[in-house]
Every structure is written in C-alpha cells, then in structure tokens.
C-alpha cells in the first residue's frame, strides 16, 4: 500500500479553473436563455392560435344567429334594430338587418 501525503492529486492552474467555471456558467446561462426564448415563442404561437379560434368561433355564432333570424319578418327585425339602435336600419335589406342585429347582439 502506498501512504497518502494529505495532498490532492488533482492540480489545476487557477486560470484554467476560472476558464472552466466560466465555460460551465456560460453554457448554463445560454441554455437557459434559449429555453426561455422557446417558451416565449411557444406562448406567442399558442396565443395567436387561440385568438384565431376565438375569432372564428365568434363569427360562426354571429352567422348562425343571422341564419336563425331569417325566419323572422322584416318588421320584427326593424323593431329589434330600433331597440338596439342600429344606424341606417331603414335602408337595409332583410338579410342586412339580420346580420346587423346578430352582430349587435354579440357585442
């Protein structure tokens, strides 16, 4: 058996040690920044998709309500447009009235 002298067998120059520590820290920080950027990009893309779906859903509901209003007479649509204070209602066609009433109800 060999006797130990109490000294470390691993020796490193302080400059090399500093460079190693700096390299590890830089690797971790750059990796973290890249991860944060990916998360931010994912959030932006997800938000855009959610916004698009919400807009599409709102338009689909408005369209469906306008279709349902096709069964209502033009007089009833004019009364509803008057109650909702839709401008230019007297010069609108029945289809335009149905669309305007449906849109006003959504907002």
Domain that residue 20 falls in: 15-106
CA distances from 40 to 35, 49, 57, 81 (A): 9, 14, 25, 44
Q: Which two tokens stand for residue 4?
A: 């130990």
Q: How many structural domains comprise the chain?
A: 1
Q: Is 40 part of any domain?
A: yes
pLDDT computed for residue 26 by the predictor? 84
Percent of the chain with pLDDT over 90: 12
Instruction: Examine residue 4 and state whether it is found in any structural domain, yes or no.
Output: no
pLDDT in tens, 53-84: 888 888 888 788 878 887 888 889 899 899 99
pLDDT higher than threshold 70 for residue 2: no
Is 61 inside any structural domain?
A: yes
């Amino acid at each position: 058996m060999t006797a130990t002298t109490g000294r470390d067998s691993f020796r490193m120059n302080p400059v090399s040690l500093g460079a190693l520590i700096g390299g590890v820290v830089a690797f971790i920080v750059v990796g973290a920044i890249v991860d944060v950027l990916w998360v931010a990009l994912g959030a932006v893309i997800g938000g855009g998709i959610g916004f698009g779906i919400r807009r599409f859903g709102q338009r689909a509901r408005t369209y469906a309500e306008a279709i349902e209003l096709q069964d209502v007479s033009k007089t009833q649509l004019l009364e509803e447009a008057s109650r909702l204070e839709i401008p230019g209602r007297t010069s609108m066609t029945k289809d335009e009235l149905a669309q305007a009433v449906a849109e006003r109800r959504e907002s």
